[in-house]
Chains A and B, each alone.
Chain A
Amino acid sequence: MKYYDKLIFELSKPGRKGYSLPAGKWTATLSSIPENLLRSEPAPLPEVSEPDVVRHYTNLSGMNFGVDNGFYPLGSCTMKYNPKINEEAASLQGFASVHPLQPESTVQGCLQVYHELEKALSAVTGMAAFTFNPFAGAHGELTGLMVMRRYHLDRNDLKRTKVIVPDSAHGTNPASAAVCGLQVVQVKSTPEGLIDVEDLKSRLDDTVAGIMMTNPNTLGLFETEIREIAELVHGCGGLLYYDGANMNPLLGKVRPGDMGFDIMHLNLHKTFSTPHGGGGPGAGPVGVSERLAEYLPDPKVTADADGVYHISRSSHAAGRVSGFMGNFSVLVKALAYIWTLGRENIRMAGPLSVLNANYIKESLKDVYRLPVDRVCKHEFVFDGLADTSTGITALDVAKRLLDYGFHAPTIYFPLLFHQSIMIEPTETESKETLDDFIAVMSKIAEEAASDPEILKSAPHNTPVRRPDETLAATKPVLAFNG
C-alpha cells in the first residue's frame, strides 16, 4: 500500500471543471428568486477535472484493505466473500431508475424482490414475516424493540419497560434499548461464558418486556440452555429477541424461530454476503413470529391471491422507521446470494464457517490463551498471548498482523476479557489461507518473546502507523479549512 497525501480540495484550481451538462435554453433563471432566500457566497467546493477525480479516488482506494484484497478475520463482522453477480443484479437499470413513490402497478418487479426475499428468509429462520425497512443491524434492533413494545402496549400491558441484555452483548443492544425508551437490565455470564440462568431467573417479573440474545453469543459459544431461557422468559410474559449479528454459523443448520425467538434481525451485509462498503449500506430486516406480524412497521409488501403485489399498512404497526422501504438494492444482492446457494448449498454455509473457526482455534490455542476451551461456532476469543510475561497486548498483535498482509481481528471486545482477540474466518476462506494465518499468528507469538519491540512499533509496512487518536479527540479537526 502506498501513502498518498492529498485531499480533493488541494487539487482544486479556479476554472477547472469535472462535469458536462446540456446548455440550458430555459427562460426562467435563478435570478428571479428573492435575494434574501439565496446564499451569500458560493459553496467552496473543489474545482477539478475528471481525470483529477478518477486518479485521486483510485489513489485513495490504494490505501484501503477489503475482503477482495485478503483475509479479513474481523470477529462478529462476518467478512465473507461478496459475490459479483449480486452487484450486477442490483445495478440493473430496471431497478436503479425506479422512483420509490411510483404506483404499485409500475413497480411489480421491485415488490417481487421483497416478497421473494421474505419467503426465503422465513424459510431459513423459521420466522413468519419480515420487514425490510431497517437500514442496518442497529436499526433492525431498534425496530425489533419497537415491535416488542408495541405488542405489549397493544395488550394494555403497560408495566413492561425493562429489557434484559447479557453482559457479553454487542454495544448496540443496550444503546438500541435506551433509544427505544426501555430500561436495560444486565444479566451475568457464567465462567463458561454463557448466560447465568440463575441470575436471569432473579430478574424476571411482569415488568420485563423481553430479552435480547445473541446465539451463539459474542464468545462464539452456543447458549446451550436456550430452551430453558425461552420457557422462563415466555413464562413471565416477555418476548425473546434474536440479535442476528451471529447468525452465520446457524445458516442452514438451526433456525431462530425453532428455538423460541419471537423477533429477530438479520444483517444482510454479514450472513447474506452483501458488501460492507466501508461502513454501509447494509440492511437489517426484522423477522417476527405469526402473532407479531401485524406490528411490523409501515409500509410493507403483501401479495394477493392473483400474485399481484401491494404496498400495505397495518393499523397496529409499530410506526415507520425509514423514509421509503429500506436499502432496496442491498435486498436484491441478498436474494441473488440465496438463489445462487439454493436449498442444497445453504446447508453447508454455517457448518463450513464453524469448521474454519474451530480449525484456527485448535491450531493456535497453545500459543494464545483460550479462556473457554470448547467447540465454538463461527468465531472465538483469545485473551492475549499464552505467555503473559512479554507485555505484548492485543493491539500489538493486531497491528503486526497488518504488516503480514492480513486484516486484524476484532480486539478489546467482548469486554469480558482484558486482551480479547476475536477471530471470525467465515466459510469462504480456504485451508491454505487459514494455514498462512496460523503460521503468521505463531510467528508473532515467537516475535513477542524474541523481539517485542518489533511488535510494539508495528505496523511497519502500512501507509500510516498508529495515528495519534488522543490528538484527534482533544484537538478535533473535522473538516478541511483551506
Chain B
Amino acid sequence: MGFSYFPHTDGDIREMLGRIGAGSLDGLYSDVPQEFIFKGEFDLPEAMSEMEVRRRFAEMAERNRKLTVFCGCGAYDHYSPAVIPYLTSRAEFQTAYTPYQAEVSQGTLRYIFEYQSMITMLSGMDCSNASMYDGATAAAEAMMMSIACTRKKSRVLLSRTLLPQVIEVVRTYAGYHGVDIGYVAADGGVTSLADLQGQLGQDDVAGVLVPSVNRYGIIEDLSGFADAVHAHKELLMVYADPSALAVLKTPGEWGADIACGDCQSLGLPLSFGGPYCGWLACRKEHVRKLPGRIVGETVDMDGKRSYVLTLQAREQHIRREKATSNICSNQSLMALYVTIYLSLLGKEGLREVNALSYGGAHYLYDSLLATGLFEPVFDRPFLKEFVLKSSLPAAELQQALCEGGFFAALATEEGYLSFCATEKRTREEIDALVACIKDFAHKMHERK
C-alpha cells in the first residue's frame, strides 16, 4: 500500500473513519445501491512508475514525424520565446482556479486585464473579454452575440472565404441555437461586397462575419462593408489573426462592431491543435452582451488599485438559462502566454515578425512559381500564407514532402495547394522544400 499522490497512512484512515463513525471506506458508500458499486477489474494498465510513464510518453511522442511546417490554415508555426514556458509554468499561475477570490488572485486578474488591454490595442476595438476556447468557437459566440445585440433577428451571414473549420463550427452552433446561416459568395478569392449588399436588410439578418486575412491567405479589402451593413442596423463582425493586426488595418478601423479570432499565432505551441486561445472583442455599447469572463479595475477597502471579475450579471452562474452564453472558464493560462508574448515582442517586435514572415513567404511564392510547376490562383496581396494551383498529384506530393521532412502543400477543398512561411523559416529550409518538390516532379516525370 502507499501511493505517492495519496498522503493517507493506514493509521490515518482508521482514525478518520473512527471520527466519522464508519466501519470501513466501503461504508462511506452505503447510500449507493450495491448493484452500482463496481466490483470488477478495471481494464487499465497496472500502475506505472514515473520512469515507465516517462518512457511510454517519449515513445508516443517519437511516433510523430518531426516536420518543418510550411502550412498555416488556422495554426501557425511562429517563434515562441524561452521566457514564456518558464513563466507560465509557475505554480502560482498554473495551479490556481478561476479568480473568484480576488484577494488571493491579483496575479491572474492583473494579467487578464493586461491581456484585455493588448487585444483592444491590436484589434482597435473598445472591450475584450478574458479569452475564449479557440478561434472557431469565438466566432460561434460572436454569431450568437450578434443575435443577442440586435434582438429578434435570426439570420447571420458568413463569408465563404472564412477558414473551413470556422464555418463548420459556427454552422453547428447556429443549427442548435435556432439561427439561420447564409453565405456571402467569394469573388476572385475575396468576399463579394456586391453579393453581401444583395442579402442585407432581408430575412432578419443580425450581422455578417468576414475575415481580415482569409482562407487563401489574402488580405481582404473591407472598404464599404461597415457602411453597407450599418445602413440596415446590422452588425459587422471581423475574424482576424491578431499577429497580423500589428501591421494590417484593424477590425476597429474597418468599422467592425464585434471582432474575434485565434491567439495561437501569439506565442502558443502548435500542440496538435490545442490548447489555443480565442479572442473576442466589441464596441462599448455591446459590452453587456459580451460572453465570458471580464476583468475590471477598481479599488479595495484601503483605496489600493485592484482587479476583479466584473459585469457578472451576464454570466451563467447568475443568469442560468437567460445568460448570453454557457461559457465560464476557458483558456486563462493561454491568455498569459499571449500577454507575455506581446510584452516581449512589443510594439516593434510584432511588426518585425510580420515583416520577416512576409519576406519569407514571398520568397517561397516566387521560388515555387519559378519551378514552372505551379500557377497563381489569385493575384492579391498576402502576408504569410497563399494558395497555388498545380498539376502535380496533391496526395502523392504531400506524402513525398513528408518523407523529405516537410509539411507543405496542403490541399484545400477547392483543390488548391496551401503554403505558409513564418519568421521561423530560413532561406535554407525554403530552398530545401523547393528542391524536394522539384525532385518529386522529376520522379513523376520519369515514371511516366
Whether the pair B323, A278 counts as a contact (CB closer than 8 A) is no
Whether the pair B74, A323 counts as a contact (CB closer than 8 A) is yes
**How many chain B residues have a CB neighbour from A under 8 Å?**
207
**How many chain A residues have a CB neighbour from B under 8 Å?**
202
Assuming the A-B contacts A103-B399, A278-B96, A463-B103, are A473 and B53 also in contact, with contact meaning beta carbons closer than 8 angstroms in the complex? no
Q: Is B95 an interface residue (CB 8 A)?
A: yes
* Binary contact track A192-216/B, C-beta < 8 Å → 1, others 0: 0000000000000000000000000
* Binary contact track B96-112/A, C-beta < 8 Å → 1, others 0: 11111111111110110
Whether the pair B45, A45 counts as a contact (CB closer than 8 A) is no
Whether the pair B363, A28 counts as a contact (CB closer than 8 A) is yes
Whether the pair A355, B16 counts as a contact (CB closer than 8 A) is yes
Question: What distance in Å separates the Cβ of A452 from its nearest Cβ neighbour in chain B?
Answer: 17
17 additional contacts (CB under 8 A) given A24-B355, A64-B108, A319-B176: A21-B352, A39-B245, A43-B350, A50-B344, A66-B95, A74-B97, A105-B65, A109-B61, A109-B62, A136-B330, A139-B327, A178-B326, A279-B333, A322-B133, A354-B28, A375-B31, A402-B104
Instruction: Give CA–CA (A56, B340) in the complex, Å.
Output: 10
* Binary contact track A52-84/B, C-beta < 8 Å → 1, others 0: 011011101111111111001010010111110
Q: Is A176 an interface residue (CB 8 A)?
A: yes
Whether the pair A329, B271 counts as a contact (CB closer than 8 A) is yes
Q: Is A181 an interface residue (CB 8 A)?
A: yes
Q: Is B329 an interface residue (CB 8 A)?
A: yes
Q: Is B336 an interface residue (CB 8 A)?
A: yes
Question: What distance in Å separates the Cβ of B43 from its nearest Cβ neighbour in chain A?
Answer: 4
Q: Is A325 an interface residue (CB 8 A)?
A: yes
Whether the pair B79, A47 counts as a contact (CB closer than 8 A) is no
Question: What distance in Å separates the Cβ of A321 from its nearest Cβ neighbour in chain B?
Answer: 6
**Top 9 A-B residue pairs of the complex, sorted by shortest distance between their CB atoms:** A26-B359, A324-B273, A94-B61, A342-B47, A319-B172, A100-B273, A277-B333, A66-B95, A109-B63
Q: Is B94 an interface residue (CB 8 A)?
A: yes
- Nearest-CB residue, chain B, relative to A112: B60
Question: What distance in Å separates the Cβ of B76 from its nearest Cβ neighbour in chain A?
Answer: 9
Select one of B97, B136, B334 contacting A276, CB under 8 A: B97
Near B by CB (< 8 A), chain A positions 405-431 give 407-408, 410, 413, 427-431
Whether the pair A319, B346 counts as a contact (CB closer than 8 A) is no
Task: Give 22 CB contacts A-B under 8 Å.
Answer: A22-B423, A26-B356, A27-B363, A32-B381, A39-B246, A39-B253, A45-B342, A45-B347, A63-B107, A74-B100, A109-B60, A277-B93, A278-B99, A322-B273, A323-B74, A324-B274, A328-B272, A328-B275, A343-B42, A344-B46, A407-B101, A459-B103
One of A248-256, A285-293, A443-451 contacting the partner: A248-256
Residues of the A chain whose Cβ atoms lie less than 8 Å from the Cβ of B100: 74, 410
Residues of the A chain whose Cβ atoms lie less than 8 Å from the Cβ of B259: none
Most chain-A Cβ atoms within 10 A of its Cβ — which of B22, B106, B262, B336? B106
* Binary contact track A118-135/B, C-beta < 8 Å → 1, others 0: 011001101000000001
Whether the pair B38, A179 counts as a contact (CB closer than 8 A) is no
- Nearest-CB residue, chain A, relative to B426: A22
Select one of A27, A47, A224, A326 contacting B347, CB under 8 A: A47
Instruction: Give CA–CA (A428, B93) in the complex, Å.
Output: 20
Whether the pair A322, B346 counts as a contact (CB closer than 8 A) is no
Q: Is A266 an interface residue (CB 8 A)?
A: no
Question: What distance in Å separates the Cβ of A150 from its nearest Cβ neighbour in chain B?
Answer: 9
Assuming the A-B contacts A94-B66, A319-B168, are A275 and B347 also in contact, with contact meaning beta carbons closer than 8 angstroms in the complex? no
Whether the pair A28, B359 counts as a contact (CB closer than 8 A) is yes
Question: What distance in Å separates the Cβ of B218 from its nearest Cβ neighbour in chain A?
Answer: 10
Near B by CB (< 8 A), chain A positions 295-352 give 297-298, 318-330, 332, 336, 338-349, 351-352
Q: Is B122 an interface residue (CB 8 A)?
A: yes
Whether the pair A479, B127 counts as a contact (CB closer than 8 A) is yes
Most chain-B Cβ atoms within 10 A of its Cβ — which of A54, A178, A338, A358? A178
Assuming the A-B contacts A43-B246, A175-B323, A339-B45, are A82 and B346 also in contact, with contact meaning beta carbons closer than 8 angstroms in the complex? no
Q: Is B285 an interface residue (CB 8 A)?
A: no
* Binary contact track A148-179/B, C-beta < 8 Å → 1, others 0: 01000000000000000000001110111111
- Nearest-CB residue, chain B, relative to A481: B117
- Nearest-CB residue, chain A, relative to B69: A99
- Nearest-CB residue, chain A, relative to B323: A175
Instruction: Give CA–CA (A38, B248) in the complex, Å.
Output: 4
Instruction: Give CA–CA (A363, B345) in the complex, Å.
Output: 53
Question: What distance in Å separates the Cβ of A289 from its nearest Cβ neighbour in chain B?
Answer: 16
Q: Is A97 an interface residue (CB 8 A)?
A: yes
Q: Is A389 an interface residue (CB 8 A)?
A: no
Residues of the B chain whose Cβ atoms lie less than 8 Å from the Cβ of A26: 356, 358-360, 362-363
